[in-house]
Structure 1
Amino acid sequence: MTETPLLQVRLGNIAHGGHTVARHEGRVIFVRHGIPGELVSVRLTDSAPEAKFWRGDVVQVHEASEHRVPHFWDAADALKHRDPVGGAEFGHISLEHQRTLKAQVAAEQFTRLAGLKAEDYNFPSVQFVAGAEDGLGWRTRMSYSVDSAGHLAMSGFRSNKLTSIDSMPLAHPAIENSGIYGVDYSGIDRVEVAVSSADDQTILVLLAETVPGAAAKVAKQFPEGVNLASFSQQGGSAADGKGSLQVLAGNPWLSEKVLGEKYRITGEGFWQVHRAAAGLLSERVIDLLEPSKGEQIADLYAGAGLFSLPLAKAVGQTGRVFSIEGAPGTHADAKRNLKTFRQATVIRGRVERVLWQVATDAALDAVVLDPPRAGIDKQVAAELGSSGVSRICYVSCDPASFARDIARLSSRGYELEHVEIHDLYPHTHHMESIGLFVRH
């Protein structure tokens, strides 16, 4: 197999997705592991002649940016490994400059996809979330593959090659110290590990079993105090309702505590990844939406009820909160977490199928949106416009889909009154946006 020759290029602007944009003989190349302004050598990873653009990785730096720092994780360092693992693609950039680049990406998306002008929004930079100053140890949820030797492993960007690992510096210290890296996972395809962000820092390990009986053998290698559960890979997962959890040790759920309230999260049920995210986002949603007694509010894509619970407290017994979630397991968590609030109605169903009925039956005063990375679809935007709801608080983990949805909601009569960005994912290209839309 002929080795692809290296190209020497000057890196241009940052682009959404963790790339910088370079050009070579008129061809656009999306380059990972670089910093705008650097002169680098790039190994092409996708260079089909008919492709609209190519992809490549930085393998040598000739003129380094002043913002380049030594990568904190050897396995993810593209200058040391041909196929670095993913999950820390900004680890070679100083934290301060990471946030500058994220702000630039958000501004570009808002301008190009949402049609906004700089004066239409106001955020000076990406805001820092309280935590370790080095941006490490923040992940309370981790997903690992298992290699042929039974070791925990991860793959690189757009790669199927597994690299065994014995640490993940972004993972919560309780995960790193739980003994998970010394276990033989033969017969297991995937390992999900979560730690409670509450004071007890309880660990839950989920094993996706491919060989019958493998999970029980693996469980014997863990120390006491670790909660263990398994599910058949053929049966799906507990979160999507196509599989059921088998408890191996302890409980198949974790307790979380946010703003003084307790939540229960089962198995693979969704929860914010950053250890400080649930509290921060809850505070910001309530501060921006300003719910009041007697109001009727819909919490769409509600998950386990992270926002539904404080909203229910805010509207009181004379108000109503509709907590809508499609995933069966997460919906069950929401019912449990909201069971003491008679003003909360927990509904299982796809938002685009349920929202119209809720909006028909209730005169909604406000809506909270926290959709998956793909954002909301055209039908949801249309139904929100038809509902006449006056305030929408939108929590987004993807600036591109958020910008597109800004345009959709704007066409339905909503104005983006406020937007802010938080760095809930240090050393990655990801960011969290919160926007408040009002209809005058």
Structure 2
Amino acid sequence: MNKSVTFTYSLAALGVASFLGLSASSALAHDGKEGHKHYTASAKAHQIAQQNLIIDTHIDVPYRLKKDWEDVTKATARGDFDYPRAKAGGLNVPFMSIYIPANLERTPGASYQLAHELIDSMEALAYRAPGKFALAASVDQVMQQQERGVISIAMGMENGSPIEGDLNNLVKFYNRGIRYITLAHSESNHIADSSYDIRKQWNGLSPFGKELVTAMNEIGVMIDISHVSDDAFWQTIELSKVPVIASHSSLRKYTPGFERNMSDDMIKALAENGGVIMINFGSSFVTQQANRYGAMIRGQIEKVQEQYGADSDEAKQRIAELRAKNPYPFATLEQVLDHIDHVKNLVGIDYIGIGSDYDGVGDSLPEGLKDVSSYPNLVQGLLDRGYSEADIEKILYKNFVRVWREVEAYAAAN
């Protein structure tokens, strides 16, 4: 191996700062060594969080517990969610994500099986701690359970692959409490193309996907367009007779070229449809730096491994140095607030909600929004930016409740 070649470990020195649209000095300001801010929400922010419903439409507890079980009815050592932290943050309605990995669709029955197992786990959670949790399948149940002081577990299915091309399965999952379905996930499936998948096999929705949109309207399951391709989004908006949601998406304005987030034109169309974009907190959804970090660091790691051998001690040492000198560029609460500001300025306050992706984005959460105890920090940030309490209530729950009730009403009339 040619050890005469030397490596420069700073991504900024390698031109990454320029690639990300930063100066070298601004890149260093995000290196985790500087700029850490301690967020302290005021008594007013805590009061707003505790006195109002907080609905977060995307929390990945079910799959987290399948992989690494902990008793979330008590304080846990790991993860972003547990009962004490949820109560401290004022969270009333976590929509628990029934997350189905995209590759399971290649094995008949696997998606369907996992979906039922994850729903079982949420039923078991509510059964084990009836004084803390209760399942919720309607807005009225949520409101009643808020009065009782218990946390309502609502459920959304992330990836429609468990439907398996059979509308009878939609009925089964509705009867088990599924109240939104994310049409696709990281790969195109039998329903829709994925924003992440370069194979756009359907050029949007499949023929069955178009049937499913109508059937979801009629039964009362909200349509979630997070993860789908742009063409699938536009076709869904055209077909749906009720508002749709983006359960955990942020803005392409701040992550250019990232199709998983929503463009301004899409947000305008979503608002015209009456829908809501639920802002994702994950750093890679919030800033361009974090969004491109993974690809850049992987590229440098591959160069080290190519030069020194993937399993060599020299490569391991140099990769450790590379990571130490270029830590993950966490987003901040302020940058999440920028996304909210932009939606408000673009289409108004009535189309914004919270879809944090807690327990779904690993350790990439922004400074100030690290777990479900952090909602008062978000409230404080909104207060600091001049949002009224009425505006904040819309973001915390009223906008989403409006959509959920409209979906319920349409289904009841059909």
TM-score (norm 2): 0.29
In terms of fraction of residues, the more strand-rich structure is 1
Give the TM-score taking structure 1 as reference length.
Answer: 0.27
Higher relative contact order (CA 8 A, sep 6+): 2
